[in-house]
Amino acid sequence: MPRAPVRPGKGTTMARMLAVKAQPRSKSPGVEELGPDRFRVRVRAAPEKGKANAEIAERLAAHLGVSPSRLSLVRGAASSRKLFRLET
């Protein structure tokens, strides 16, 4: 997925869209960069009741050096392919 900045209206912040391939129930959690704004995130949590999504956001934020509150899940809550929005 190519880098696609979102151009907000006046007085709002810029954002980056991050494509994520999720791997829940992984024995070796971590984040792997696959390309510009593309990641594979391995987490220990099972994909139940949003637990894996929360851990994915935490690990991705730590990898990027930002607060998890700056990430929001845009698409893919029940899918292994997710799209996160990073507020810059």
- Which two tokens mark 42? 């391995």
- Output the pLDDT for position 88: 82
pLDDT for residue 30 is more than 60: yes
Helix ranges restricted to H, 1-88: 51-64
CA pair distance 68, 70, nearest whole angstrom: 5
Which homologous superfamily is 15-87 in?
YggU-like (3.30.1200.10)
pLDDT digits (tens, 9 = 90+) for 60-81: 999 999 999 999 999 999 999 9
| Residues 15, 5 contacting (CB under 8 angstroms) | yes
Which sequence spans correspond to the domains of the chain? 15-87
Does pLDDT of 11 surpass 80? no
- What SS3 class is residue 68? helix
Give Cβ neighbours of residue 29 (< 8 Å, ≥ 6 apart).
42, 43, 44, 55, 59
